Chains A and B, each alone.
Chain A
Amino acid sequence: MVMGSSGSKLEKALGDQFPEGERYFGLENFGNTCYCNSVLQALYFCVPFRDQLLEHASRSKGSGETDDNLLTCLSELFTQINSQKKKTGVIAPKRFVQRVKKQNELFRSYMHQDAHEFLNFLLNELVDILEKEAKASSKPTSGQVHPDKLANGTANGIANGNHPHPVVTWVHKIFQGTLTNETRCLRCETITARDETFLDLSLDIEQNSSITSCLRNFSSTETLNAEDKFFCDKCCSLQEAQKRMKIKSPPRILALHLKRFKYIEQLGRYKKLSYRVVFPLELKLCNTTDDAPGSEAEYSLFAVVVHVGSGPNHGHYVSLVKSHNHWLFFDDENVEIIDESVVQTFFGSTQEYSNNTDHGYILFYESLEQKH
Chain B
Amino acid sequence: MAAPNSQSPSVRTHFKTPEGRYKLSHEKTHPSSVLHYSHGKAITQVTLAHLKDKPPQTPSTSSSSSSSGGVGARFSAARLLGTGNGGSRLNFGGGNGFSGRLTGGGKSTTVSSAGMGLSNGPLASSYDGEGTFLIFNVGDALFVSDYVSQDKDPIKCLHFSNANPVSHTYDPDAKDGHDLLIGLTSGDVYSASLRQQLQDSGKKLVGALHYNKDGAINPSRCTSVAWVPHGDGFFVVAHADGNVYIYDKNKDGSGDVPFPPVKDQAQFSVAHARSSKSNPIARWHICQGSINEIAFSPNGFYLATVGRDGYLRVFDYAKEQLACGSKSYFGALLCCAWSPDGKYVLTGGEDDLVQVWSMEDQRVVAWGEGHNSWVSAVAFDAHWIAPPSDESGESVTYRFGSVGQDTQLLLWDLAMDEVVVPLRRLGGTLSGSPAFREGGALSGRWDGVQPVGILHPAPVRKEVPKLAPVMAHRVHAEPLSSLIFTKDAILTACHEGHVKIWDRPTQGDSPARNSDTADASSKEKQPPVKSGLSQFKQ
Closest chain-A Cβ to B163's Cβ sits at a distance in Å of 16
Please classify the interface of chain B as helix (H, G, I), strand (E, B), loop, or mixed, using the class held by over half of its residues.
Answer: loop
Q: Is B461 an interface residue (CB 8 A)?
A: yes
**Residues of B contacting A282 with CB < 8 Å?**
310, 330-331, 350
Which of A58-66, A152-160, A209-217, A251-259 lies at the interface with chain B? A209-217
**Residues of B contacting A356 with CB < 8 Å?**
39
State the CA gap A206–B371 with chains docked (Å). Answer: 13
A38-77 interface bits toward B, Cβ cutoff 8 Å, 1 = contact, 0 = none? 0000000000000000000000000000000000000000
Check A284–B373 contact: CB distance below 8 A: no
Check B407–A208 contact: CB distance below 8 A: yes
Check A280–B460 contact: CB distance below 8 A: no
State the CA gap A295–B460 with chains docked (Å). Answer: 10
Picked from A212, A275, A345, the residue with its CB within 8 Å of the CB of B352 is: A212
**Residues of B contacting A276 with CB < 8 Å?**
405, 479
State the CA gap A9–B405 with chains docked (Å). Answer: 36
Query: For chain B residues 216-245, which have a beta carbon within 8 Å of chain A?
Result: none
Picked from B5, B331, B405, the residue with its CB within 8 Å of the CB of A283 is: B331
**Residues of B contacting A213 with CB < 8 Å?**
352, 371-373, 406
**Residues of A contacting B479 with CB < 8 Å?**
208, 276, 350
Closest Cβ neighbor of B538 among chain A residues: A290
* Given contacts A278-B373, A278-B374, A284 and B352 within 8 Å (CB-CB): no
Check A344–B405 contact: CB distance below 8 A: no
A152-185 interface bits toward B, Cβ cutoff 8 Å, 1 = contact, 0 = none? 0000000000000000000000000000000000
Q: Is B40 an interface residue (CB 8 A)?
A: yes
Check B406–A208 contact: CB distance below 8 A: yes
**Residues of A contacting B350 with CB < 8 Å?**
210, 278, 280, 282
Q: A residues within 8 Å of B by Cβ?
A: 206-210, 212-213, 275-276, 278, 280-284, 290, 295-296, 298, 344-345, 350, 352, 356
State the CA gap A352–B478 with chains docked (Å). Answer: 12
Check B40–A209 contact: CB distance below 8 A: no
B440-453 interface bits toward A, Cβ cutoff 8 Å, 1 = contact, 0 = none? 00000000000000
Check B7–A207 contact: CB distance below 8 A: yes
Can you list 25 residue pairs at the A/B interface with Cβ under 8 Å? A207-B8, A208-B406, A208-B407, A208-B479, A209-B372, A209-B373, A210-B350, A210-B352, A210-B405, A213-B373, A278-B350, A281-B331, A282-B310, A282-B330, A282-B350, A283-B331, A284-B329, A284-B351, A295-B461, A296-B460, A296-B461, A344-B40, A345-B39, A345-B40, A356-B39
4 closest pairs, A vs B, by CB? Answer: A280-B331, A280-B350, A213-B372, A210-B373
Interface residues on B, range: 20 to 34
Closest Cβ neighbor of B408 among chain A residues: A208
Check A284–B372 contact: CB distance below 8 A: no
Closest chain-A Cβ to B345's Cβ sits at a distance in Å of 21
State the CA gap A352–B331 with chains docked (Å). Answer: 28
State the CA gap A350–B498 with chains docked (Å). Answer: 15
Check B331–A206 contact: CB distance below 8 A: no
Check A210–B40 contact: CB distance below 8 A: no
**Residues of A contacting B351 with CB < 8 Å?**
212, 280, 284
Closest chain-B Cβ to A367's Cβ sits at a distance in Å of 12
State the CA gap A209–B7 with chains docked (Å). Answer: 11
State the CA gap A350–B352 with chains docked (Å). Answer: 18
Check B374–A210 contact: CB distance below 8 A: yes
